Chains A and B, each alone.
Chain A
Amino acid sequence: MSDFTLSRNSFGRLVLITNDGQQHEGVVAVRAFPIAAPDEGVSLVSTDGHELAWIARLSELPDNEQTLVQDELAQREFVPEVKQLVAVSAFATPSQWRVNTDRGATEFTLRGEEDIRRIGQGELLITDSHGMNYRIPDLFTLDAHSRRLLDRFL
């Protein structure tokens, strides 16, 4: 059994009640290794930044709480997956990219080639000029056009 219970209040905030009866409103869920091991190590943090609980694995939680945490994480995580590069404004940076992602079509500005980070075999993380991240899970599964465009920046 876990030593806390989670619920959501009418303001949409996550409320955590520890076994000794302390109540924390507006709890935030944070992944410790968002890239390397997203499903291991989720921390529940209070609004003033102190850790309240550590979840070693999400699957350890009861189903309803697991959904709550998953929802909360989904609300905060925003790393669209690039499915296709439609066009780039220039091969020199800064360059405006038009892409299709799993969350719809969008545009962003790539400030420099160094903002494309290789994280694994064929996996890329692109940071745009506002600090937002886009992920390419596997470079080699992109279509030929996208790959040709991307190749100019690698």
Chain B
Amino acid sequence: MNLRPALPSLSRFPESFPATWRDGLNTELAPDAVVVAWLEVDLDERLNFSRTCIVLCERELLARRADSAQWEHWPLHDELRLGHFDHAGIGTLELYDLQQRLARWRYTLEQNLAAQRLIKLFESQRLAIATGAPAPIDNNDVCPNCKAPLPPDEDECPICTRVEQTPPSTWTLLRLWRFAKPYQGQLLAGFLLMLGSTAATLVPPYLTIPLMDDILIPFHAGQHIDPAMVGLYLAGLFGAALLSWGLGWAKTYILALASERIAADLRTTTFEHLLQLSLEYFGGKRTGDLMARIGSETDRISVFLSLHLLDFATDVLMIGMTAVILFSINPSLALVTLLPLPLIAWLIHLVRDRLRTGFEKIDRVWGQVTNVLADTIPGIRVVKAFAQESREAKRFRDANQHNLEINDKLNRTWSLFTPTVSLLTEIGLLVVWGFGIWLVSKSQITVGVLTAFLAYIGRFYARLDSMSRIVSVTQKAAAGAKRIFDILDHVSTVPEPTRPIHLENVTGAVELREVGFRYGSRSVIRDLSLQIRPGEMIGLVGHSGSGKSTLVNLICRFYDVTDGSIRIDGVDLRSIPVAEYRRHIGLVLQEPFLFFGSVAENIAYGKPEATREEIVAAARAAHAHEFILRLPQGYDSLVGERGQGLSGGERQRVSIARALLIDPRLLILDEATSAVDTETEKEIQRALDNLVAGRTTIAIAHRLSTLRKADRLVVMDRGLIVEVGGHDDLMAREGHYYRLYQAQQRHAEELLLEGGAL
């Protein structure tokens, strides 16, 4: 008998704590101890896949490897530290005190969030012990779904979104109903028409019975043919053909219209949703992939709905109706006729399945061929400059050769397919012939009935091939639908406020309060506070990678802060409608992007209703007016891809004009002059001086000299603000800024010297 001691209150374990670790741990913990946090790491010290459980209680940290029975204990004390870092997909958690490292655990990044949470709770427990004050209650949100900790300020669970990455299921197609619903009337009408037209196609074989039994056979028996009867039957045949033609046309037309509209709605909805998503989403996706999803996947779904699904439904209806008719004429012959059907269907499916994997392979190989093209054509200048044409040609030839081989292999099976289907059909007919003749010889059925049967099954055996296709096209369409719903289901990480605050007049005071930000698990900005007065110009400097652009992205709200808050005129950015907020921002980037269209349209991009006078005034202020006039069609010249080529400096000035035209309260220049030569820079600088006047400006510049007009310089290093002040002030301090400046001066002098030596 197993007399267990009364269980210590069950609540000492969090609900999600795995049972495998629970049993041994119960006896290991002090009677009143409660598990505060736990982590199951999936690698061992030598990086083999093996689990280890780490448990944090109020007074100690415990760990046990899956292959050991022993729990290790580390009592918490003031000098105990838990740290983590990650590299190349593995995280490391280290426990150490002031003298040495006590333990180390490894995990794949899947567990990173849980690890960070463990560290956070460890810190608060440790502080509680050190200070004697109780640890703050952990109010970190957990995913309602899987109970895993959520990343701060995000309501999307990283684990559940991963689960959502399940392979496409055919049921996804049902979700298309949301888009089909507005067209349900048309769809119903189409279905009824389909019913009618299918029924009409089944009339002619039926008429072969009287044609045979009442006219042809009696004729052989010596009776004469009654032309009136023949005329009647022929008219029946013609009428049925005509009816099925008309109904078929109406059905196809109505359903094609509806499905095309469904696909169009799907396309627009997806694109509109996509535009609302945050930059983070775009950062993780390839342009080609997104384009394919919105373009060809919706098209594939439309073809599926209007063609394959329609055909399939027709075929099923036909087979159903035929079966009913056959059984009503003669059940035993009907049974024999229909028996080989499942077998034939299964055989066809088998061959198809092999073909399908082959076709998928071809799809992928085809992708490789196009990839070579996509690589080479945009990079043609590099290819030619390094005289590598023959290498690229070889790459293409190789890809093509691969394509050829795969195709050859598939064609062996493919060429077998159609003959095989015919063979199976013939065999099916053979069975019916044999059994039918036997029945006729027993006078069980008439010759007319046998002919009718042959006519009926000839029809639907032929349809079996197209029916077998439904499996693969459905799978493909389901995959397409899933890829689209992936976009539609994605919630923007920069959400619209639920209770928006509208800003009437923006003065442009920006306040950053203890801002922290991570890209995924990587911390890029830490504890950053800064107040910017209305109309002030801030120069943001620091080494490349110190987080300047990231800070600007946060201020533009391309991303939301992970900790702290950003306020404009005292209002948190997250409570202002996104589009409304962005209207107050003028952004000039290092790589100006011009859309395909005229120069004027590009300048007026942010304010399409701008008058021509306004556009010209903005261009003048941006020092773009004169070069625009030199273009062959002036302001109407086409720019952007395929259009009139503009130089880097010219593009930049167009983008400055664009920012000027919307008259923003907050102006952001991210390395706006870094990509151009010194001459052009001067020109742009003059344009910028116009832009800056009277606005809150945040300017990032690689060349420190460009920032001479800044009221304050903010020096960043590894995500922190290290210095703030005017140029002279910072030079006097001989700190970070001083060193940056000195380095640039030296560099400039070296350039001068080299120039002199030439």
Contacts and interface: CB of A to CB of B under 8 A. Distances in A.
- A-B interaction: yes
Interface of A: 10-12, 74-78, 80, 89-96, 101, 103-106, 109, 111, 113-114, 129-133, 152, 154
B50 A90 contact: no
A89 B167 contact: yes
B49 A101 contact: yes
B99 A10 contact: yes
A132 B101 contact: no
A94 B166 CA distance: 6
A76 B87 contact: yes
B444 interface: no
Interface residues of B, number: 32
Nearest to B96: A11
Contact of A109 (B101, B104, B162, B357): B162
Which of B50, B99, B165 has the most chain A CB within a 10 Å cutoff? B165
Given A76-B90, A131-B109, 19 more contacts: A11-B101, A12-B101, A12-B104, A74-B46, A78-B47, A78-B89, A90-B167, A92-B475, A96-B166, A101-B49, A106-B49, A109-B162, A130-B89, A130-B109, A130-B110, A132-B88, A132-B89, A133-B89, A152-B360
B479 interface: yes
A129 B99 CA distance: 38
A80 B50 CA distance: 13
Interface in B288-337: none
A70 to B, nearest CB: 13
Given A103-B47, A103-B48, A132-B108, A11 B100 contact: yes
Nearest to A80: B49
Contacts of A90: 167-168
Interface string B351-393: 0000001001100100100000000000000000000000000
A76 B87 CA distance: 7
Contacts of B46: 74
Contacts of A105: 49
**B contact patch SS:** mixed
Contact of B100 (A10, A109, A114, A154): A10
Contact of B167 (A10, A12, A92, A104): A92
Interface string B471-498: 0000100010000000000000000000
A154 B361 contact: yes
Contacts of B90: 76, 78, 132
Nearest to A118: B368
Contacts of A101: 49
B475 A109 contact: no
Contacts of B89: 78, 130-133
The 7 lowest CB-CB distance pairs between A and B, nearest first, are A90-B167, A104-B49, A132-B89, A10-B100, A103-B48, A94-B165, A12-B101
Nearest to A112: B289
B66 to A, nearest CB: 11
B45 to A, nearest CB: 9
Nearest to A107: B49
Contact of B47 (A74, A113, A152): A74
Contacts of A111: 165
Contacts of B109: 130-132
A91 B357 contact: yes
A129 B165 contact: yes
13 contacts: A10-B99, A10-B100, A11-B101, A76-B88, A76-B90, A80-B49, A90-B167, A91-B357, A92-B167, A92-B168, A94-B167, A104-B48, A154-B364
A78 B162 CA distance: 22
Contact of A77 (B88, B110, B168): B88
Nearest to A132: B89
A16 to B, nearest CB: 18
Contacts of A154: 361, 364
Contacts of A11: 96, 100-101
A6 B89 CA distance: 26
A12 B89 CA distance: 20
Contacts of A76: 87-88, 90
A121 to B, nearest CB: 13
Contacts of A77: 88
B167 A93 contact: yes
Interface in B58-115: 87-90, 94, 96, 99-101, 104, 108-110
